[in-house]
Amino acid sequence: MNILVCISKTPDTTAKIAFVEGNTKFDENGVQWIINPYDEWYSLVRAIELKEKNPNVIIHLITVGGADTEPIIRKALALGGDEAIRVNNTSNDSMVVAQEIAAVAKGGAYDMILTGKETIDYNSASIGSMLCALLDTTFIPNAISLDVNGNTAIVKREIEGGEETCETNIPFILSCQKGMAEQRIPNMRGIMAARTKPLKVLEATIHNETTSIQQFDIPPAKSGVKLVDPSNMDELVRLLKEEAKVI
């Protein structure tokens, strides 16, 4: 069984968010890069768990980005990916990224494609749904559990106000979130093995961007917290009613 896990590079959750070049580019100075947590903790680790149950599983990793994404993809290999492809395209347009992944997936006969539910930088939650249209394959978003029985997958997913359990047959695409698996730390053996695992670089083939980022802005700082005396909750209620007008 071939699983394709999509890996994105994102700034660490505690990274300082700032912009340069007239607020048109993210300031990468001093930023620590990580595997997008949804891609790592949920989709990649679940794929590794499936491989631990079934040795016939092969975990293929794909990332779309420049050479600076290689430490990230090596870490994913160290965690337990078998082989990796990097498509050398630095576009920020989800449509371009999804088309690059689809081009690889079309030639790969993957039984399932796993993505995180969104990236923590652009928060678009788009790649899984775009792959669904590009590959004409079933897509189940916000998956919180996945079990595979022969050709059938049993998936639990979050819906608003609850959970839904469903079944589908391979091939399919899932976007994964909390519940799917628990975070792991790569061990020394994994880190050593990752150095020699295959990492193939493909040249970019998609160049037509459908969107372009014009500018970034940092939201204005809060004007400062207004402290209310703990013995005067009537005043807090008045502020929420008359000033904030939220109750």
Partner 1 sequence: MVLIYIDQDEQEIKKASFEAISYGAALAKQLGTHAEGILLGTVKESVEALGKYGVSIVHQVTNSGLNNFDASVHATVVTEAAKKLGATVIVFAHNINGKAIAPAVAVKLNAGLVAGACALPKTDAGFVVTKTVFSGKAFASIKIETPIKVISVNQNSFGVIVGEGNATLENLDLPVPASKIKITSIDKIKGEVPLTEASLVVSGGRGLKGPENWGILLDLAKALGASTACSRPVSDADWRPHHEHVGQTGIQIAPNLYIAIGISGAIQHLAGVNRSKTIVVINKDPEAPFFKAADYGVIGDAFEVVPALTAAILKSKAGA
Q: Which is nearer to partner 1, 38 or 199 (CB)?
A: 38
Interaction pattern, residues 67-106, with partner 1; x per rule: CB under 8 A: --------------------------xxx--x--------
Which of 165, 187, 198, 201 contacts partner 1 by CB under 8 A?
Answer: 165
Do 88 and 204 contact (CB within 8 A), yes or no? Answer: yes
25-26 and 33-35 beta bridge pairing: unpaired
Binding region for partner 1 (CB under 8 A) out of 51-59, 69-77, 154-162, 184-192: 154-162
Asked if the peptide bond before residue 171 counts as cis, ω within 30 degrees of 0, the response is yes
Task: By CB under 8 A, tell whether 230 contacts partner 1.
Answer: yes
The whole-angstrom separation of Cα 158 and Cα 177 is: 9
- 156 within 8 A of 181, measured Cβ to Cβ: no
The one-letter amino acid at 119: T
Relative to beta strand 162-169, strand 152-159 is: antiparallel
Residue placing its CB nearer to partner 1 in the complex, 41 or 110 = 41
CB neighbour list of residue 46: distance below 8 Å, 6 or more residues apart: 114, 146, 176, 180, 181
H or E element in which residue 79 lies: helix 70-79
* Chosen residue from 151, 169, 187, 205 binding partner 1 by CB under 8 A: 169
Interface positions, 204-223, toward partner 1 (CB under 8 A): 209-219, 222
What is the x/- site pattern for partner 1, positions 127-146, by CB under 8 A?
xxxx-xxx-xxxxxxx----
Q: How far is the CB of 30 from partner 1 (least distance, A)?
A: 15
- Which parts of 99-128 interact with partner 1 (CB under 8 A)? 118, 120-128
Q: Which of residues 23-42 bind partner 1 (CB under 8 A)?
A: 37-38, 41
